[in-house]
């Protein structure tokens, strides 16, 4: 593919110089990644990916994200029954890259499912980039397998489907469910405190706060960041009486990790994990997971104090 791109660039230059164009007059923007990505996005037959995964994606820009929530599990923590949108929403996302596609994802698994799924992923040519917890004390315990790959998107989708098939992850699209209950929280106040606009999803109020500076992987900018797991994610699940369970992950550079830990702990929010999700992103990032159950507005103020320790984008 790089040879093809080099040949294309050389051919354009040859024609340009033959017609009297100078290097100063050539529009070099035609060689930039957005141009190449856009062209390649149109070449990919995404219907084959949809068919392999058995579902339709949420599309953001040129990223297609497929959800695999663990709706089959009943997971409780500190007396809270966790909704899939709070902490059990497995996913994979595809982005055109170098003429093919990159895939990355975060799959929710039981302990007994980790190695069978991992083996099938490896057999399918995909990479395992992390395996770890996001929560503590949950029953049953859940683990999170981060995966990645680069190649033909339909082939990778088939490998992901085959791997998930050895777990109990629901692979058939569920029948149309009743609308989720309204989020019983003062969401306007939450937006004001957090300095961002949240969105209701599956009975959970969610914030996605991108980092100020771009994140790249294999020379490709990870945009839009939220569907690729490169934005700070904060979730509120109402528990009644203005209280909420909160969890999610902060996306941090190394110098931000301990200031954020201190800010969260000073506000009564537990830190449940600090680890990597990817292997070769730039800049190097760390993902910090948290948990608390308390007054929602109080918790929002603590989360805002932690956000202030990060180089996150301002609304």
DSSP summary character for residue 178: P
* 191 three-state secondary structure: helix
Say yes or no: 108 and 188 in one domain: no
* 269 domain-assigned: yes
Say yes or no: 139 and 108 in one domain: yes
Say yes or no: 160 and 250 in one domain: no
Tokens read off for 42: 């149109």
Say yes or no: 303 and 265 in one domain: yes
Residue ranges of E strands in 26-75: 58-60, 63-69
Q: Of the candidates 125, 153, 172, which is a domain's last residue?
A: 172
Residue 230: CB atoms within 10 Å = 26
Say yes or no: 226 and 146 in one domain: no
For residues 224 and 193, give the distance between their C-alpha atoms in angstroms, rounded to a whole number.
24
One pLDDT digit (tens) per residue for the chain, 315 residues: 444 344 344 443 443 434 344 333 434 333 334 333 443 455 889 999 999 999 999 999 999 999 999 999 999 999 999 999 999 999 999 999 878 999 999 999 999 999 999 999 999 999 999 999 999 999 999 999 999 999 999 999 999 999 999 999 999 876 666 787 789 999 999 999 999 999 999 999 999 999 999 999 888 899 999 999 999 999 999 999 999 999 999 999 999 999 999 999 999 999 999 999 999 999 999 999 999 999 999 999 999 999 999 999 876
Residue partners of 234: CB distance under 8 A and separation at least 6: 194, 206, 207, 209, 246, 248, 303
Residue partners of 19: CB distance under 8 A and separation at least 6: none
Say yes or no: 151 and 45 in one domain: yes
* 22 domain-assigned: no
* 17 domain-assigned: no
User: What is the domain extent for residue 190?
Assistant: 182-315
Say yes or no: 200 and 112 in one domain: no
Q: Of the candidates 108, 137, 172, which is a domain's last residue?
A: 172
Q: Are 188 and 288 in contact (CB under 8 A)?
A: no
DSSP summary character for residue 118: H
Location of structure tokens 């799959």: 107
């Amino acid at each position: 593919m790089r040879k093809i791109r080099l040949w294309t660039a050389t051919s354009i230059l040859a024609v340009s110089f033959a017609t009297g164009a100078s290097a100063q007059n050539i529009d070099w923007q035609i060689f930039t990644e957005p141009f190449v990505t856009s062209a390649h996005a149109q070449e990919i037959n995404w219907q084959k990916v949809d068919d392999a995964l058995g579902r339709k994606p949420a599309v953001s820009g040129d990223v297609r994200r497929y959800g695999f929530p663990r709706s089959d599990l009943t997971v409780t923590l500190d007396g809270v029954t966790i909704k899939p949108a709070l902490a059990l929403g497995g996913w994979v996302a595809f982005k055109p890259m170098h003429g093919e596609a990159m895939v990355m994802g975060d799959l929710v698994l039981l302990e007994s499912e980790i190695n069978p799924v991992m083996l099938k992923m490896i057999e399918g040519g995909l990479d395992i980039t992390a395996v770890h917890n996001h929560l503590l004390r949950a029953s049953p315990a859940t683990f999170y397998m981060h995966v990645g790959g680069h190649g033909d998107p339909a082939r990778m989708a088939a490998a992901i489907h085959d791997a998930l098939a050895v777990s109990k992850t629901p692979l058939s699209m569920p029948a149309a469910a009743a609308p989720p209950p309204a989020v019983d929280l003062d969401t306007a106040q939450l937006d004001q405190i957090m300095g961002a606009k949240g969105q209701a999803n599956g009975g959970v109020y969610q914030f996605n706060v991108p980092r100020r500076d771009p994140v790249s992987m294999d020379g490709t900018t990870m945009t839009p960041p939220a569907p690729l797991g490169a934005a700070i994610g904060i979730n509120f699940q109402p528990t009644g009486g203005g209280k909420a369970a909160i969890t999610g992950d902060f996306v941090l550079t190394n110098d931000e990790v301990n200031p954020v830990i201190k800010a969260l702990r000073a506000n009564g929010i537990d830190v449940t994990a600090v680890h990597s999700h990817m292997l070769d992103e730039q800049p190097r990032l760390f993902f910090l997971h948290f948990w608390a159950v308390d007054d929602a507005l109080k918790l929002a103020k603590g989360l805002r104090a932690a956000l202030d320790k990060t180089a996150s984008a301002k609304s």
